[in-house]
Structure 1
Amino acid sequence: MSPADTLLVLASLWLVAVLTPGPNMILFMAVGLSSPTASIIALAAAIVLGTFLWGLAGLFGLFWLFELFPAAAMAVKVAGGLYLAWMGFGLIRRNLAPAPETAREPAAMLTPRRAFLTGLATALGNPKSLVFVSSLFAVTRLAEQPLAIGLAGVGVMIAMSTLYYVVLGVALRTLPFARRPGATGRVLAMGTGLVMMAYGGKMAWER
């Protein structure tokens, strides 16, 4: 298979992966409906960065590290899950507190910094992502291609993920209640926290 065919097959398979609902997508949708635009951008950047790092790990065959040291994979997954759940709990707790009368925004949506850290923890906190990427590279034989082609494949993954989250983010911000402060924003923020706690607990509990 030529390098062009390899990249085309990779793009087709990655498109399916990007469109399949998972922790990254659900977290992004929740934050997109409840937090400022800067936080959405920060979250998208974190998810794309996580994709980039898992892509490089799959390209350079780092999957063998988790095979040799399964305890390390478990530690990463548990730590990522617990961090995500803790961030979700904090978001709920702050939005349950009475908002100051002078506040013009719902108390404690995700700040850009928190959105970035939470997104990165979600993206990197699941070693199954490396298993999937490694399998994808094995099916397409991308790792057998010259390094430049392998890096191009990772670039395709990054470009497609970035485009997807840009389109999804713009679509979410067009919804009227996504930009409205007040009780609606607080409810959406607490919903974000519940999603984070649910997925964090799932990530930490699964074996």
Structure 2
Amino acid sequence: MTPWDLALPAVLTALTLWMAAVISPGPSFMLVSQLAASRSRPAAFAACLGISTGSAIYASLTLFGLSFLITGSALVVEGVRIAGGCYLIWLGIQSWRRAGNKAAARKMAETTIFAGYRLGLATALTNPKAIAFFLGLFGAIFTPEMGTAPKVATLIAGFTINITWYALVCTLFSTEAVRRRYQGMKGWLDRIFGSIFILFGLRLTFGGRLS
């Protein structure tokens, strides 16, 4: 029996759960959709890459037995949690600022590709739920005897799932029809996005713990 015979069911299970986690709406979805709808399509695509990079980093640490670099210290875990919460609150406040401010909205529309990537990467890396997800997923599914190749294949396929999904979100929200609707309701939508970001951040900062 080859390592792939042992690993294939685990790989398929891992990718199915990874896909389910990716398509569940959350901060990453809101970030990409807001960037795309505000006429920052290149920045939104860059954010897709940043989000996927962040997920791949956490997945790699877990797959190859390096998750202790993060989870080995309670101080680091708490730091990630609080940083993630504060970052989401900051995103929410920025969204509220843009709601009635044409200059701020114009700045959002002119977000650079590098800034989009940085926003996406920061959103993924400051999400302790991602750490918990990958620890629980790969820790329970993969075993040392499965070998390296199935783990690398899972990582590549998962990265592809991530970037494909968010690229689809970006494409949808950057269509002219969606952009026109967004611009027509921009003030309210920015306040809604901002409120959700802030609620996510408050819950993470004061209530969410990595388990």
Output the TM-score relative to the length of structure 1: 0.81
2:48 corresponds in structure 1 to 44
Q: Does 1:108 align with 2:107?
A: yes
| Farther-moved stretch of structure 1 (39-48 vs 87-96) | 87-96
1:132 corresponds in structure 2 to 133
Q: Which amino acid aligns with 1:68?
A: G
Q: Identity of paired residues, percent?
A: 26
Q: How far apart are 1:58 and its partner, in Å?
A: 0.9
After superposition, the CA RMSD in angstroms is 2.7
Gapped regions of structure 2 (runs ≥ 5): none
Going from structure 1 to structure 2, the CA distance change for 1:38 and 1:30 (only over 3 Å counts) comes to same
Going from structure 1 to structure 2, the CA distance change for 1:34 and 1:191 (only over 3 Å counts) comes to farther
Going from structure 1 to structure 2, the CA distance change for 1:126 and 1:181 (only over 3 Å counts) comes to closer
List structure 1 runs of 4+ shifted beyond 4 angstroms: 179-183
Gapped regions of structure 1 (runs ≥ 5): none
1:68 corresponds in structure 2 to 72
Going from structure 1 to structure 2, the CA distance change for 1:106 and 1:184 (only over 3 Å counts) comes to farther
- Pairwise mapping of residues 13-162 of structure 1 onto structure 2 (< 5 A)? 13-97=17-101, 99=102, 106-109=105-108, 111-112=111-112, 113-141=114-142, 143-162=144-163
Output the TM-score relative to the length of structure 2: 0.79
Q: Which amino acid aligns with 1:153?
A: T
- 8 A contact 1:27–1:195 mirrored in 2: no
How many residues end up aligned between the 2 structures?
A: 202
Q: How far apart are 1:123 and its partner, in Å?
A: 0.9
- In structure 2, C-alpha distance between the alignment counterparts of 1:141 and 1:109, rounded to whole Å: 42
| Farther-moved stretch of structure 1 (189-198 vs 153-162) | 189-198
Q: How far apart are 1:164 and its partner, in Å?
A: 1.1
Q: How far apart are 1:181 and its partner, in Å?
A: 8.1
- 8 A contact 1:91–1:109 mirrored in 2: no
Q: How far apart are 1:158 and its partner, in Å?
A: 0.4
- In structure 1, C-alpha distance between the alignment counterparts of 2:118 and 2:202, rounded to whole Å: 17
